[in-house]
Structure 1
């Protein structure tokens, strides 16, 4: 049976990233991967003068645990006046089914408390009964000196969203001074190399890799620093091989990062 030549449908998350990249460089985009070959890049970018470029959309580490982060990063129906987004650290035994059942309880409590800082969290509420392990409320209250609660900046500022994350030591650095060191370690990993290989096979001169960051693969002090980034104090010394452009996206961050060969990093506002 002949393989389908219809390009695979991108997820909403992937489409959003493709739109951000295309808008930033003044290009249009189209899905490319139709599974007609073993390794194909995701998106074809076309500049105004017709010059093509290849874009692959991936996630740091390509870890299977990313499904939970992705689930939590997408808005769900919620009670109350606002829409909320909640992320939780790994290790609580949570599943999408449990989250769908018990997130309304958590959101109701947070909205009633007007949560803006960890100290404003309700102290006694079993947010995820039956989830296994320590209940989320008890865990968060015990660890809140290492926790961070912040609003996510969205295109609708009247709809605040909330993120929970456990910071495993380290310092929050809005200048992202540790980014180059972390990224230099990632360019030698197999997940990075396999994505670059897909791009090289395109035969194009301009090769873009867009990466979703998540707390399974990224040190949480760096991830939260990304969420609070106000600028970037980094160099252009990163060696990303044949890549011409690297894009980094973090959940709940109002910005994303663009690295270009020779010029280094730039901080861009989400559209």
Structure 2
């Protein structure tokens, strides 16, 4: 039996790849074949011990819906102008309105030479309803008059591309906010349900593996995790009966493990 199993879910696949690599166990998917309230996987040690593992992910409220909508429906929108335009959006609630208003906004702004409608205060004060909506939304539109909509190399028009909005701020150089940020992740309702499943398991050793989206933690913590070689001073408290808490932030090279012995980290970017 291989220590690595294939999973349809990329979050589960990350756990199935990484936990055996750093713990030396064999992972066996368990939540299948109609098993009721079964944990996601069992971990088999070479000495015969067996541990239970639950796997989940965490993101800020609305982010999963935003990712899905951008992928399936709103990744590109019509561009009736002659410039190249792009948009970022921070909340899924703004996508339908953007789709309905973007063509009017583009034509209005190109006619007046406005590159960034969010700062078109003259139009706002003149009572333009589309600009007023834009300024109050999470949407940012940017036009590039120097880059024509027609792509001469590819012989096609460039649509209005829509992506997730970015974040910014200071950097938590010491990662002093790591524990608090991760405790907020653990407090999410769906994570608590995973903890409850582990509590019901007969196995003494219980692993919770969480893939933490960058939207789920403050920018200053996320940026430090991805750009600084710093071990946080403390980790979050182990929740409930969980004995091993694994925390993975995808853009960081580190996989964190919290046990009764404290916080450790593993560099998942090093060759096996």
Structure-2 separation of matches of 1:248 and 1:14: 13
Contact 2:31 2:38 in 1 (8 A): yes
Partner of 1:126: 85
Structure-2 separation of matches of 1:249 and 1:237: 13
Q: Structure 2: 5+ residue runs without aligned partners?
A: 1-5, 78-82, 89-94, 106-114, 117-139, 144-162
Residue 202 of structure 1, CA deviation: 2.1
Partner of 1:46: 44
Residue 264 of structure 1, CA deviation: 2.2
Structure-2 separation of matches of 1:221 and 1:140: 25
Structure-2 separation of matches of 1:210 and 1:270: 18
From the two aligned structures, give the one with the greater strand fraction: 2
Deviations 1:133-172 (A, max 9, x none): 779x964879xxxxxxxxxxxxxxxxxxxx9862253x22
Contact 2:43 2:50 in 1 (8 A): yes
Residue 223 of structure 1, CA deviation: 2.2
Structure-1 separation of matches of 2:247 and 2:141: 28
Contact 1:33 1:41 in 2 (8 A): yes
Structure-2 separation of matches of 1:226 and 1:67: 25
Residue 42 of structure 1, CA deviation: 0.8
Contact 2:246 2:255 in 1 (8 A): yes
Structure-2 separation of matches of 1:193 and 1:175: 28
Residue 209 of structure 1, CA deviation: 0.8
Root-mean-square deviation over aligned CA pairs: 3.7
Structure-2 separation of matches of 1:24 and 1:33: 23
The verdict on how the C-alpha distance between 1:68 and 1:25 changes in structure 2, with shifts beyond 3 A counting, is farther
Structure-2 separation of matches of 1:141 and 1:166: 14
Q: 1:95 aligns with which of 61, 71, 74?
A: 71
The verdict on how the C-alpha distance between 1:264 and 1:60 changes in structure 2, with shifts beyond 3 A counting, is same
Q: Structure 1: 5+ residue runs without aligned partners?
A: 1-7, 72-92, 103-123, 143-162
Q: Secondary structure at the match of 1:166?
A: coil
Aligned length: 199
Partner of 1:107: none
Give the TM-score, by structure 1 length.
Answer: 0.59
- 2:173 matches 1:182: no
Q: Secondary structure at the match of 1:126?
A: strand
Matches within 5 A, 1:32-111: 32-34=30-32, 36-60=34-58, 65-66=63-64, 69=67, 94-99=70-75
Instruction: Name whichever of 35-44 and 249-258 sits farther off.
Output: 35-44
Matches within 5 A, 1:89-168: 94-99=70-75, 125-127=84-86, 132=99, 139=140, 166-168=166-168
Residue 38 of structure 1, CA deviation: 4.0
Contact 1:235 1:265 in 2 (8 A): no
Partner of 1:156: none
Partner of 1:14: 12
Residue 194 of structure 1, CA deviation: 1.0
